[in-house]
Amino acid sequence: MKIHETKVRVRYAETDQMGVVYHANYLVWMEVGRVEYCRAEGLRYKDLEDEDQIHLAVVEASCRYLHPAKYDDEILIRTSVAEAHSRMVVFHYDLVNADSGTNVARGTTKHIFLGKDLKPRKLPREHWHVFGLDARPGVA
């Protein structure tokens, strides 16, 4: 399983009145991890959308909050593909405090591939390797 690591630093604007990262920001960090995972595998989201007319629509998201992240913490986002086929991909994320090694959150997002018409489409075979799919003929 491929794991891509991306770091973000908690900005003051991402915290709530208690000085703890507001819960919705973890989903934003998951997106950062997902985009950088694809980029590291040679696929830019922008190219997928512009050239292939394919969009990744989030159909399910979950996040388990384990330990509070706070202003100025450096967060390591470990992103991997948990499951995939030609019409769907599930990403898994571990968000870890880079200094202490404490796991602050764990989550998943499930996506389907859509065309510009918002109808499900198969991911073009030339991108299957990004998600760990087998590109042999007859394998989907």
- Could you say which DSSP state residue 123 is in? P
Alpha carbons 9 and 86: distance in angstroms, whole number: 34
Residues 6 or more apart from 56 whose CB is under 8 A from it?
45, 48, 89, 111, 112, 113, 114
Q: SS3 helix, strand, coil % of the chain, rounded to 5?
A: 25, 40, 35
Please indicate whether residue 52 is annotated as part of the active site.
no
The active-site residue out of 16, 72, 99, 134 is 16
The residues carrying an active-site annotation are 16
